[in-house]
Amino acid sequence: MRLRDVLSLSFRTVRSNKLRTGITVAIIAFGIMALVGINTAIDAMKQKFTESFASMGANGFTIHYKDYQFFGNNNQVTKAKKGQKEKASNAKIPISKEQAELFKKNYHFPAKVSINIRGGNSNIVSLDSRKTNPTVQVNGGDENYAELNGYTINAGRSLNDLDVESGRNVCVLGSDLVTKFFGGSPERAVEKIIKVNGIPYRIIGTMESKGSSIGRSMDNVVITSYNNVRRFFLSGSINYFNPTPSFNIQVKVPDVNQISLAIGEAEGVFRPIRRTNTTDASNFVIDKSDRFVEELLSNLSLITVCAVVIGAITLLGAAVGLMNIMLVSVTERTKEIGLVKAIGGRKGAIRQQFLYESIIISLLGAVFGSVLGILIGNVFSLVLNTGFVFPWIWLFLGMAICTGVGILAGLYPSLKASRLNPIQALRYE
């Protein structure tokens, strides 16, 4: 019997048992759907995290007074050097306005420096009778803040030196607030007066949309000078994660190859400002821009492992079910097998037929499961507002796994069928 005939017979047999085949395909499809769907969603999350946290680029770093630990990780650039002592009190000393300004003045490396401080994320913005929910983030920065944080001015202008030095009530609005109060027309917003927590501010500029990060909009924001935030908003920024208000310093160098030199000089300039002895570890932390991305992506690997385990358990159950169905099929078709052998059918052809049936059922489950997994995973990518994700690696891996499942599940039934005695098979009732 030729290979084409064996395959044709296998397809006809699979189609003739629609209910049995459908149930088995559904079980396999569920396992592959879990594997491909979860990993498609993870790829979308990775893409979003990379876009969100890479706004400064790989050629930037941030100086702050304590380490931001995601999931208990600690990968900061600045660590205690050999011979230096780590003081427990060092991490509790916030960076003051004077220290940040002195660093900016004394840091002569060819780079852009921005001073900023958070003003809390539970502020209310109002215009006439309309107002927002208490979810608006207020950030205090300087003339370089918008550029170093990936914002683009859409209309008007950004902060300038006079705005920062005077601490006057001017602000730059994020696109979410522009849409809410001015119908998405950035030009209309410029020079208008809004109130933030009841304090009037003149809008000097608006920003283009930046998207969201970890479920939080980056455009629901008001940017003013750090001197203004220091005057009006510091009490609102105190919380469990930020018990002591502290200034942050962002640095962006023109060439990524200069990042190590820039970090070394920054530490050398800032240690005397922070009054750190040569025998003490630095009482501040220097983080490269991609550190948060690396930490988050490394922890997403745990979810990938969970997805693989879920898919493997489901596929193991599917393999057992498929083997059981193939054994039942061998029993039901015992007379047919005896007839094939009686007219000259070889053991190899019978073995191939049952093995191909098992593989066909398994691959049908892989196809349906992959399609469903990609669709479900990309629903998550739509929520995150990322592009369409097509997980080629997991798709091919799923197909390979299902092929293996089909071979393993059909191997014993096919061997059993090929070894049947034709006389006994013909007499089977």
Question: Is residue 238 predicted with pLDDT exceeding 50?
Answer: yes
Our separate counts of H helices and E strands in the chain read: 14, 14
pLDDT at 107: 95
How many Cβ atoms sit within 10 Å of the Cβ of residue 277?
10
Average pLDDT of every residue of the chain: 81
Q: Alpha-carbon distance 227 to 101, whole Å?
A: 11
Contact at 8 Å (CB) between 202 and 169? Answer: yes
Residue 46, pLDDT score:
73
- For residue 88, the one-letter residue type is A
Instruction: Grade residue 76 by pLDDT with cuts at 50, 70 and 90.
Output: very low
Phi-psi region at 329: left, alpha or beta (left = phi > 0; alpha = psi -120 to 50): alpha
Q: Residues of 94-124 as b/e, b for ≥16 C-beta within 10 angstroms?
A: bbeeebbbbbbeebeeebebbbbbbbbbebe
Closest CA to 132 of 141, 122, 142, 140: 122
* Cβ 222 vs Cβ 177: under 8 Å: yes
**In this predicted model, what pLDDT tens digit does every residue of 300-309 receive, in sequence order?**
677 778 777 8
pLDDT of amino acid 225: 96
Which tops the pLDDT comparison, 208 or 279? 208
pTM (2 decimals)? Answer: 0.59
Q: Among residues 358, 357, 370, which one has the least CA distance to residue 399?
A: 370
Summarize the confidence of residues 325-351 as an average pLDDT.
76
Structure confidence by residue, pLDDT tens digits, 389-411? 888 887 888 888 888 888 888 88
What is the pLDDT at residue 57?
59
Whether residue 50 has pLDDT greater than 70? no
379, 45 in Cβ contact below 8 A?
A: no
Which helix (H) or strand (E) is 79 found in, with range?
A: none
For residues 77 and 286, the answer to whether their CB atoms sit within 8 Å is: yes
In this structure, the strands spanning 199-207 and 193-196 are: antiparallel
Percent of the chain scoring above 70 in pLDDT: 83
pLDDT-based confidence at residue 380 (cuts at 50, 70, 90): confident
pLDDT (mean) for 229-256: 77
- CA atoms of 11 and 21, how far apart (whole Å): 11
**How high is the pLDDT of residue 311?**
73
Mean pLDDT is highest, among 218-222, 349-353, 376-380, for: 218-222
What mean pLDDT do residues 207-213 have?
82
Q: Greater confidence, 37 or 272?
A: 272
Q: Which residue from 383, 377, 71 is spatially nearest to 217, judged by alpha carbons?
A: 383
Average pLDDT on 107-136 reads 93
If pLDDT is split at 50, 70 and 90, which confidence band does 32 have? confident
CB atoms within 10 A of CB 154: 18
The mean pLDDT value for 57-80 works out to 61
Residues 212-227, mean pLDDT to the nearest whole number? 84
Decide: residue 10, CB within 10 A, 0-12 exposed, 13-18 middle, 19+ buried.
buried
**pLDDT at 85 (0 to 100):** 54
CB atoms inside a 10 Å sphere around CB 223: 26
Question: What pLDDT shows up at residue 235?
Answer: 67
